[in-house]
């Protein structure tokens, strides 16, 4: 049996001093997938760097990563990404979105995304059905403010109502937080963005929250695994 072949869509970039130590967003995504799935092959597509998005049928599933860009930005590659998401969803191919990817999938399928203020550090998400909590690293100012009709909330918080979503019509699962971020990378990222865009107070608090933080990502990894194996 041949290995499944996935594509990691990386719509952002990191400063060299961060990527040199921690890798690209796509590298973090690959490490996350390797914790969730058995042997597989993968390619990376970086539309923000000029890569052309593949035809959805070219791969067995897709992971859309985070970005410094927003889904409402007027950037040439955003509209083709929306079209790609719609077609991938229509073909019922496995699709997972993280942060920007979470928002992009919701917007492409009829939801709305808006700026709601910076949320950085560690956020506690609650499963509205079981009452269980998930603590995860966050860094965003945009969030989903209106759901697509086919989406259901899986995790929520007071500051981010639509924190994780599943979709009824296709194997698709998304999350606003960054399960691919290590606490060390997050600490470095927060410090690197002190003053732009974070204030000193936001940066200091976020760094404090990730110091010594040991995330239990088993619920996230289980949902990613289920989505890709549907």
List of domains in the chain: 5-113+145-181+216-228 (3.40.50.880)
Give the pLDDT band of residue 124 (cuts 50, 70, 90). Answer: very high
Give the pLDDT band of residue 31 (cuts 50, 70, 90). Answer: very high
What gap in Å lies between CA 80 and CA 76, rounded to an integer? Answer: 8
Average pLDDT over residues 36-49: 96
Average pLDDT over residues 49-56: 96
Average pLDDT over residues 159-186: 97
Asked if the model's pLDDT at residue 173 lies above 80, the reply is yes
- The average confidence (pLDDT) of the chain is 96
Average pLDDT over residues 145-156: 98
Asked if the model's pLDDT at residue 203 lies above 70, the reply is yes
- pLDDT above 70 covers a percentage of the chain that reads 100
- For position 73, what pLDDT does the model report? 96
DSSP annotation of 214: -
Average pLDDT over residues 213-228: 96
Q: Read off the tokens for 29.
A: 């995504």
- For position 216, what pLDDT does the model report? 94
What gap in Å lies between CA 180 and CA 27, rounded to an integer? Answer: 9
Asked if the model's pLDDT at residue 102 lies above 90, the reply is yes
Asked if the model's pLDDT at residue 220 lies above 90, the reply is yes
Handedness of CA 213, 64, 117, 185 (dihedral sign): positive
Give the pLDDT band of residue 2 (cuts 50, 70, 90). Answer: confident
Give the pLDDT band of residue 230 (cuts 50, 70, 90). Answer: confident
Give the pLDDT band of residue 1 (cuts 50, 70, 90). Answer: low
* Residue from 171, 87, 55, 174 nearest 125 by CA: 174
Average pLDDT over residues 170-180: 98
- For position 228, what pLDDT does the model report? 96
Average pLDDT over residues 193-200: 96
Q: Is 54 helix (H, G, I), strand (E, B) or coil?
A: coil
Asked if the model's pLDDT at residue 13 lies above 80, the reply is yes
What gap in Å lies between CA 66 and CA 191, rounded to an integer? Answer: 18
């Amino acid at each position: 049996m041949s290995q499944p072949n996935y594509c990691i869509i990386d719509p952002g970039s990191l400063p060299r001093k961060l990527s040199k130590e921690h890798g690209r967003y796509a590298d973090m995504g690959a490490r996350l997938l390797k914790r969730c799935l058995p042997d597989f092959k993968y390619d990376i597509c970086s539309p923000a760097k000029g890569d052309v998005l593949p035809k959805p049928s070219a791969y067995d599933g897709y992971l859309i990563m985070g970005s410094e860009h927003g889904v409402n930005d007027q950037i040439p590659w955003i509209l083709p990404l929306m079209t790609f998401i719609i077609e991938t969803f229509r073909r019922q191919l496995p699709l997972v979105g993280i942060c920007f990817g979470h928002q992009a999938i919701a917007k492409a399928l009829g939801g709305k995304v808006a700026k709601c203020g910076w949320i950085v550090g560690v956020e506690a998400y609650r499963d509205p059905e079981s009452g269980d909590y998930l603590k995860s690293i966050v860094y965003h100012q945009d969030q989903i403010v209106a759901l697509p009709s086919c989406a259901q909330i899986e995790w929520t918080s007071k500051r981010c109502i639509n924190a994780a979503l599943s979709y009824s019509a296709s194997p698709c699962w998304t999350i606003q937080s960054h399960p691919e971020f290590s606490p060390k990378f997050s600490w470095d990222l927060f410090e690197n963005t002190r003053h732009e865009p974070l204030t000193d107070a936001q940066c200091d608090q976020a760094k404090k929250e990730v110091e010594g933080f040991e995330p239990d990502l088993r619920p996230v990894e289980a949902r990613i695994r289920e989505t890709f194996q549907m």
